[in-house]
Amino acid sequence: DAGITQSPRHKVTETGTPVTLRCHQTENHRYMYWYRQDPGHGLRLIHYSYGVKDTDKGEVSDGYSVSRSKTEDFLLTLESATSSQTSVYFCAISESTQDRGRRETQYFGPGTRLLVL
């Protein structure tokens, strides 16, 4: 199993409060991703990182920010949580390699279940 952990695993918060989710990897992979998973929508990319301090937006980035100060850690922040951000959040990693198949294969963490009341 890929060495990916997410914390916290479960969180309940109130609308308007800031929330930070952490993804930690021990694989030294260059690329890291944050997704949210909702019924009927599958997995949707929020933000991704292609190196330390190098990040970019995914398809559902509004209301989210990220930071990556170390290779092993990728943080997702909800600046002011809303009920629409209730979801299950997954972190994923992939290698930086010329091998297309390996570069495009992602390994996922166990997820964080977030409830915004």
Partner 1 sequence: TQLLEQSPQFLSIQEGENLTVYCNSSSVFSSLQWYRQEPGEGPVLLVTVVTGGEVKKLKRLTFQFGDARKDSSLHITAAQPGDTGLYLCAGAIGGTSYGKLTFGQGTILTVHP
Applying CB under 8 A, the residues found at the interface with partner 1 are: 4, 31, 33, 40-45, 48, 50, 56, 58, 90, 92, 94, 100-111
Q: Which two tokens stand for residue 86?
A: 């209730």
Which residues 6+ apart lie within 8 Å of 41 measured at CB?
none
Beta bridge partners of 13: 116
Nearer CB in complex with partner 1: 37/77: 37
CB of 72 to partner 1, least distance (A): 18
CB of 22 to partner 1, least distance (A): 15
- Contact yes or no for 93/2 (Cβ under 8 A): yes
